[in-house]
């Protein structure tokens, strides 16, 4: 960690990112995992940078928290829509099978 900010150094962040990718995707078979890890680390790095450069840490922290909360809500909404669509498909398939019987 760097002395000034107590934030992990770029080298530490990169090492952690590499280790996380190895742990989550040891054979490199799922590029989506690589993308998730990269985008997550990018977001964290940008947040650290914002906190290091701001004069109003409370406001910046609140802005980051609000942004993260919005991202989570958007993700949950997308996942719920996917689940609802899968449920409708399964129900239609079940209806079709019942009509055949």
Segment 59-88, tens digit of pLDDT: 999 999 999 999 999 999 999 999 999 999
Comparison of pLDDT for 31 and 8, the residue scoring more: 31
Asked whether the whole model's pTM tops 0.85, one would answer no
Per-residue pLDDT for 7 more than 80?
Answer: no
Quote the mean pLDDT of the chain. Answer: 91
Q: In this model, does residue 34 exceed pLDDT 50?
A: yes
45-54: b (≥16 Cβ within 10 Å) or e: bebbeeeeee
């Amino acid at each position: 960690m760097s002395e000034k900010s107590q934030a992990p150094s770029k080298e530490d962040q990169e090492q952690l990112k590499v280790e996380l990718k190895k742990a989550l995707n040891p054979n490199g078979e799922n590029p989506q995992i690589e993308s998730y890890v990269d985008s997550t680390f990018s977001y964290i790095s940008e947040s650290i940078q914002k906190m290091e450069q701001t004069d109003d840490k409370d406001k910046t922290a609140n802005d980051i928290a609000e942004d993260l909360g919005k991202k989570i809500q958007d993700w949950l909404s997308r996942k719920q829509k996917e689940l609802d669509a899968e449920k409708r498909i399964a129900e239609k398939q079940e209806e079709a099978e019942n009509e055949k019987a």
